[in-house]
Amino acid sequence: MSKTPNLPFKIWYPVLIVISLALVGVGIWMSMQDPARQLRSLGAALLAVGAISTLAALVVLPIIGAINDHSAQMSSHQHKLFTSLDERLQQLSVMLNEISEQQLISDHAKAVAYRDKDRDALRRAIREEMLRKDWEAARALVDEMAKQFGYRLEAAGFHREIDEQEQEIVRRRIDEVVTVVDRYCRAEQWDAARLESQKLASEFPGNDQVRRVEEEIEARRQNFKRQLTSRWNLAVAQHDVDGGIDVLKQLDGYLTRDEAAAMQETARSVFKEKLQTLRLSFASFVQEHNWPEALRLGDQIIAEFPNSRAAQEVADKISALRQRAQAAEAAASA
């Protein structure tokens, strides 16, 4: 059922009741006035329409009116609700803006309030890295202090302190290694000395003092080599065969291939002279029947000059010499 346009429910509801009652009255009147079937039928129809209209007016229309009132009330309530919600949202938006501004102000305030604490924490962190001897990390934190807090003078002081501590640590470590290296150099253990310097270089790469330790080892090695060379030349000049051979054995580990080739002829003459001296002494002890000494020299010739002709000659006689030496020892003890 559609609404009557532009008429409030309280106006057209009584009008509808009046019209319905009028139809009922007309229907009753027409049914009673004319006994003709046609008029009675029309009156009955009007009576039925009036009765239905009256029933609708008395029952259905109040319900519709109540529904319309309720809808109007609901619409009004919803309008008020939406209006209130919109107002709340606007208030909430204002509050959020205020909170955001306050939070921003709070962050700045906290940054200012905790500035000293942050700086003290950074100082402690720098000290901890210095204690761990992590100089690179300590310098990075010092740079952060200068950049974030602007304390450039304090940062410069930290840099100087870090440099001094690092140099002191390096100096003490170098002194320790130099002591060990000196002991190895005195014992002519050059490989062991170089190994210590390489370990030090791995600890402090690019350090000038460490590089000087390596240079010092090589300088001492070359100086010792020059001393051996001088002693060799002196032994050759003085025909000190035994002394020359002892020096040559030491010098052999220092010579390059070219240096060894240059000394080969002189060394050969020294060894030849040494062998000749041993042969003469051996022959003299044999003639004197000094079998123990002859056996000792014979064993020396075989050991030091195994490929020489003299060694072959001695090897042919060595068994007989050993028997005679044993017999002489038994006779002396008897």
214 neighbors 197 (Cβ within 8 angstroms): yes
DSSP label of 35 = -
Q: Would residue 148 count as lying in a domain?
A: no
The pLDDT assigned to 227 comes to 92
Domain-terminating residue out of 90, 113, 136: 113
Distance CA 242, CA 224 (A): 20
Distance CA 85, CA 83 (A): 5
Q: How many residues does the chain have?
A: 334
Triad 41, 42, 44: Cα angle to 5°: 65
pLDDT in tens, 190-200: 999 999 999 98
119 neighbors 89 (Cβ within 8 angstroms): no
pLDDT in tens, 168-198: 888 888 899 999 999 999 999 999 999 999 9
pLDDT band at 1 (very low <50, low <70, confident <90, very high): very low
Q: Would residue 254 count as lying in a domain?
A: no
pLDDT above 70 covers a percentage of the chain that reads 67
**Backbone dihedral angles phi then psi of residue 211, each to the nearest 5 degrees:** -65, -35
Q: Would residue 72 count as lying in a domain?
A: yes
Q: Would residue 225 count as lying in a domain?
A: no
Q: Would residue 220 count as lying in a domain?
A: no
Distance CA 185, CA 213 (A): 12
pLDDT in tens, 286-329: 888 888 888 888 888 888 888 888 888 888 888 888 888 888 77
pLDDT at residue 115 tops 70: no
Domain-terminating residue out of 113, 137, 170: 113
pLDDT band at 54 (very low <50, low <70, confident <90, very high): low
- List Cα–Cα distances, 63 to 51, 59, 246, in angstroms: 18, 7, 138
DSSP label of 308 = S
Q: Would residue 1 count as lying in a domain?
A: no
Token pair in block for residue 158: 């930290």
The pLDDT assigned to 17 comes to 66
The pLDDT assigned to 241 comes to 85
Residue where the block lists tokens 């065969």: 241
Domain-terminating residue out of 58, 92, 113: 113
Token pair in block for residue 266: 């002189």
Task: Indicate the number of domains in the chain.
Answer: 2
Tell me which residue range forms the domain holding 284.
262-334
Q: Would residue 137 count as lying in a domain?
A: no
Q: Would residue 43 count as lying in a domain?
A: yes
